[in-house]
Structure 1
């Protein structure tokens, strides 16, 4: 075979590494994925939202319906028009809408064949009947098209995970379980037209930021970051100044191939296709990446990390924009040819993989964390050490307080109303109609099998010390204390803050607000007005009300709770003189944490424990914040200027 070396490809020093066999494009017969046995060169203009390669389709769970869109896809003139990128190739053009639409209607000729899109444009499956939002009575706040891009993405992801948690909860008591509730949730969202960024594009995706994390591949699909739920390379046909071409738009490095990911600014990506007995071919995603090398377009890169909270789990995170710098062919471990592509990260982007590598180094060796004031501010009171760090100035720490992991009530616990007890052997089981604690929670256990909160409620009842179940019961989540590696750090303009070295999954318990319970009379004292550490259950971010699953999507009655049912509560807690890490959690008008009342050591519903849970997936080293609210009532804290910096900042809080 004649070898053709790219001018900018990696030189080969052995016979095992050969130049990519790049013949003139007119001699290459493009091989893009067929749609379930249909002709790959069908000229249908309807592009499915997701394509699944036939070779991968067999690995999906039995009975799964591929999540194709239930509506007419955007016209090719719009779907194939890439977004411009400020640092992109100078030859890249974004023509006017009318010119683009006119040109995109033409077929693109590659060799003797023609295609109309880089995705499964040949699919002729009949779209499902679109469900009416009016019939479902879906809140307009859940409709992505009515929101700004960031809100659109966050609402879609929040609704997806809420549906997935609810589906898992419904399956808990069944003998035959749904093995992939994530796929069912994704299909449900798309069949109801609840998703973001429908059209493929080159470059950044509106509403998605570098560092954003995802726990399921289909989450990448429903927000438009990466369409295929199996294949690692996504591509589309785009218009360049000298003609149309099919180029790669994103890749996912999930550990399934022999990739090299040690460099934070480079990725050696292995091509797709082939197996232990077959050479990879220059087709589909491999061909698209090769064309991106010559076209110079940016490619989104999604990397992955191990999720230690579940067996064989992965966390995907968006690492930013890259360009294909070179490509070659080499012998893989199986002895057969594998395509290799070297992608280099575009400059002046926020750190992505570098954050994960840095925090992992700290977890492996905590002494490697620089600018530590105290290795454990809790002095051993917490399950996990909480370090105190200042990278801003020379301040040696916050004002003195007594660290406590418990709440100090106005009267002894043994004088308060006791909770009912369950008599479950070993642990409380989902679907057990005799479990008293499940009955108190409306018939279902409030937490999933991995300990995440299923839905927000006016009050959650955990098992108490008199219950017969063991300490391993899934209904004892918050009373076990913190489990994430947290750090208290100095912010630049808002005092001390709280963040985590670990990624935090939505619905995960973070910490309790501890301190001294004060009565309403003392709250009206002038000294209390200067207490910046008083927690009042008055603050609700708008998204906190929509955190529960959209029950209409599952044919269930609405589970929305009003402001009256979720607060305010008569309890007031001051962490000024005593408290834990929660006292350092700052206010934000766009928070990533919400509070949830929980009872487990007494039954007085007016004085529950105030527990904090993740409102959404939170990347490592992201500050943890909740909405302090706007009180305005008797005994409330004085109003303060807000410095959260959110686009939706109210300007004031308190």
Structure 2
């Protein structure tokens, strides 16, 4: 007869007991136990293959230790998921999933919804005018005042080419929250999942719902720093094999967004040389052309369960040429090998 070691909720480990299956009325926990055991033996087989291939010793915890650690990980990820959803200010919910390994929540990451200026940098540049439209889709609105085309069609999809800035209605505009020219400022409307990848790329992000092509998905936010500071941090990040610096080079190279410690869901989006997200520069309350907001739009229909990716070399101009890359001091560092697996993979992230 099989017995299961039971940890009773709210009681110390000294009160743990061994129970036969007929005493257990917790189908969900039994299913988790079965899944964790299956995962354990799958990883043991995988690690044995790696050991034979690499001639290295791979240490795996015992099954009992693995089950306990997996349970603790599950609780930690649930707490992290709850915290992320408390902090978000957008409609779309955030989920967290790890069915790959025992990695828990990152210990040095803080969720934010908008840019966090570094000491000495001011993001205050309040707009002094706004539109008085009764219908911003048909009238001369904020984009026209800025000398560009309106960014969205009637289905709220992007209709301008990469490199064209987006000017949305702002707090001085007389239009309401349902204005068709208020898309990015509302935040992501989709439920997204931060998940552990199985290809060695760490955490990634996948959509839990279908996303139509040319739709706004999320902003890239983080700490706004000077390009000089970005160069210093970039060298440190290279040594750790991480990439989180995004140059704000719409008209100049003065500032960079660093999402390493402060960021939103976009912090976990992986690179691809054949991405399904495209970068656009956005101006809403702050019209300083040195400090655009960075919005990511879908380049095609993205199905539920599909990983979201963007090209780390991509600029707000849509340019990923080697010349544009060399102009950025944050990119003049050692090259990082790319693992995207795309047919068109360039081999390196920078």
- Rounded to whole Å, the distance in 1 between the matches of 2:96 and 2:164 is 34
Cα distance per residue 1:585-607 (max 9 Å; x no partner) = 11111111011000001110121
- Rounded to whole Å, the distance in 2 between the matches of 1:533 and 1:602 is 23
- Rounded to whole Å, the distance in 1 between the matches of 2:99 and 2:253 is 38
Aligned to 1:505: 212
- 1:89-108 to 2 correspondence within 5 Å? none
Aligned to 2:227: 520
Aligned to 2:157: 452
Cα distance per residue 1:32-51 (max 9 Å; x no partner) = xxxxxxxxxxxxxxxxxxxx
Q: Work out whether residues 208 and 304 of structure 2, in 8 Å CA contact, stay in contact via their aligned partners in 1.
A: yes
Once the 2 structures are TM-superposed, how far is the Cα of residue 441 of structure 1 from its aligned partner? 5.2
Aligned to 2:291: 607
Cα distance per residue 1:40-81 (max 9 Å; x no partner) = xxxxxxxxxxxxxxxxxxxxxxxxxxxxxxxxxxxxxxxxxx
Q: Work out whether residues 537 and 569 of structure 1, in 8 Å CA contact, stay in contact via their aligned partners in 2.
A: yes
Once the 2 structures are TM-superposed, how far is the Cα of residue 533 of structure 1 from its aligned partner? 1.5
Unaligned runs of 5+ in 1: 1-370, 539-565
Q: Which has the greater radius of gyration?
A: 1
Aligned to 1:474: 180
Aligned to 1:634: 329
Aligned residues: 252
- Rounded to whole Å, the distance in 1 between the matches of 2:182 and 2:189 is 13
CA gap of 1:537–1:623, structure 2 versus 1, over 3 A, is farther
Aligned to 2:24: none
Q: Work out whether residues 422 and 437 of structure 1, in 8 Å CA contact, stay in contact via their aligned partners in 2.
A: no
1:650 matches 2:346: yes
- Rounded to whole Å, the distance in 2 between the matches of 1:384 and 1:479 is 13
Which stretches of structure 1, 4 residues or longer, exceed 6 Å deviation after superposition?
none
- Rounded to whole Å, the distance in 2 between the matches of 1:458 and 1:529 is 33
CA gap of 1:537–1:607, structure 2 versus 1, over 3 A, is closer
Cα distance per residue 1:368-403 (max 9 Å; x no partner) = xxx782344523224232011001111112343110
CA gap of 1:465–1:503, structure 2 versus 1, over 3 A, is same
- Rounded to whole Å, the distance in 1 between the matches of 2:190 and 2:290 is 29
Unaligned runs of 5+ in 2: 1-73, 314-321
TM-score by length of 1: 0.36
Q: Work out whether residues 421 and 463 of structure 1, in 8 Å CA contact, stay in contact via their aligned partners in 2.
A: yes
- Rounded to whole Å, the distance in 1 between the matches of 2:102 and 2:223 is 30
Aligned to 1:393: 101
Q: Work out whether residues 271 and 309 of structure 2, in 8 Å CA contact, stay in contact via their aligned partners in 1.
A: yes
Aligned to 1:424: 133
- Rounded to whole Å, the distance in 2 between the matches of 1:437 and 1:461 is 5
Return the structure number with greater helix share.
2
Once the 2 structures are TM-superposed, how far is the Cα of residue 472 of structure 1 from its aligned partner? 0.9
1:440 matches 2:146: yes
* 2:85 partner SS: coil
Aligned to 2:278: 594
- Rounded to whole Å, the distance in 2 between the matches of 1:653 and 1:626 is 11
- Rounded to whole Å, the distance in 1 between the matches of 2:233 and 2:192 is 34
- 1:108-119 to 2 correspondence within 5 Å? none
CA gap of 1:383–1:526, structure 2 versus 1, over 3 A, is closer
Aligned to 2:115: 407
CA gap of 1:583–1:595, structure 2 versus 1, over 3 A, is same
Once the 2 structures are TM-superposed, how far is the Cα of residue 459 of structure 1 from its aligned partner? 1.1
Once the 2 structures are TM-superposed, how far is the Cα of residue 467 of structure 1 from its aligned partner? 1.0
Cα distance per residue 1:299-344 (max 9 Å; x no partner) = xxxxxxxxxxxxxxxxxxxxxxxxxxxxxxxxxxxxxxxxxxxxxx
CA gap of 1:537–1:615, structure 2 versus 1, over 3 A, is farther
Q: Work out whether residues 143 and 166 of structure 2, in 8 Å CA contact, stay in contact via their aligned partners in 1.
A: no
Cα distance per residue 1:151-207 (max 9 Å; x no partner) = xxxxxxxxxxxxxxxxxxxxxxxxxxxxxxxxxxxxxxxxxxxxxxxxxxxxxxxxx
1:584 matches 2:289: no
- 1:487-566 to 2 correspondence within 5 Å? 487-492=193-198, 493-525=200-232, 529-530=236-237, 532-536=243-247
TM-score by length of 2: 0.66
Q: Work out whether residues 398 and 496 of structure 1, in 8 Å CA contact, stay in contact via their aligned partners in 2.
A: no
Greater relative contact order (CA < 8 Å, ≥ 6 in sequence):
2
Cα distance per residue 1:79-105 (max 9 Å; x no partner) = xxxxxxxxxxxxxxxxxxxxxxxxxxx
CA gap of 1:437–1:496, structure 2 versus 1, over 3 A, is same
- Rounded to whole Å, the distance in 2 between the matches of 1:567 and 1:641 is 29
CA gap of 1:507–1:569, structure 2 versus 1, over 3 A, is farther
Once the 2 structures are TM-superposed, how far is the Cα of residue 537 of structure 1 from its aligned partner? 5.7
Q: Work out whether residues 488 and 584 of structure 1, in 8 Å CA contact, stay in contact via their aligned partners in 2.
A: yes
CA gap of 1:405–1:387, structure 2 versus 1, over 3 A, is same
Q: Work out whether residues 536 and 573 of structure 1, in 8 Å CA contact, stay in contact via their aligned partners in 2.
A: yes
